[in-house]
Amino acid sequence: MSQNFSIGDRVRVRAAYPPGHVRTPYYTRGKEGVVMGLAAVMANAETLAYGADGKPDIPIYRVSFPQTQLWPDYAGDPSDTAVVDIYEHWLVAAGGSKT
Amino acid sequence: MSDHPQPHPFQPDIEDSPFTRYQVMAESVIELLTEKGVFSADDMRRTLERIDAITPAQGSRAVARAWVDEAFRARLLDNVNAATAELGIDAGPIPIRAVENTADVHNVIVCTLCSCYPRMLLGLPPDWYKSRAYRSSVVREPRAVLEAFGTHIPDGVEVRVHDSTAELRYMVIPMRPAGTTDLDEAGLAELVSRDAMIGTAVI
Model confidence pLDDT, tens digit, residues A10-43: 999 999 999 888 999 999 999 999 999 999 999 9
Give the pLDDT of residue A98: 45
Using DSSP bridges, classify how beta strands B96-100 and A32-42 pair: parallel, antiparallel or unpaired: unpaired
pLDDT of A63-81, one tens digit each?
999 999 999 999 999 999 9
Confidence of residue B189 (pLDDT cuts 50, 70, 90): very high
Mutating which of A34, A81, A86, A91 best tests the B interface, going by the most B Cβ atoms within 10 A?
Answer: A81
Planar angle of CA B20, B24, B26, nearest 5 degrees = 115
Q: Give me the long-range contacts of B150-155 (CB less than 8 A, separation at least 24).
A: B150/B201, B151/B200, B151/B201, B151/B202, B153/B106, B153/B202, B155/A77
Angle at B201 (CA atoms; ends B195, B203), nearest 5 degrees: 105
Asked whether the beta carbons of residue B160 and residue A81 sit closer than 8 angstroms, the reply is yes
Architecture of the domain whose range is B54-198: Alpha-Beta Complex (3.90)
Distance CA B78, CA A87 (A): 21
- Domain residue limits, chain B: 18-52, 54-198
CB contact under 8 A, B112 and A27: yes
pLDDT, averaged across chain B: 93
Kindly determine whether residue B161 and residue A81, on different chains, have CB atoms separated by under 8 Å: yes
Known catalytic residue at B60: no
Identify the structural domains of chain A with CATH numbers, from first to last.
10-93 (2.30.30.50)
Q: Is the pLDDT of residue B69 over 80?
A: yes
Local confidence band at B2 (pLDDT 50, 70, 90 cut-offs): low
| CA distance linking residue A62 with residue A34, whole number of Å | 8
Supply the mean pLDDT for chain A: 91
Distance of CA B71 to the CA centre of its chain: 25
Distance CA B33, CA B159 (A): 44
pLDDT of residue A48: 87
Beta bridge partners of A66: A81
Candidates A12, A13, A10, A28; CA nearest to B161 is A28
Amino acid found at A2: S
Half-sphere exposure of residue B200, counting CA atoms within 13 Å on the CB side?
A: 20
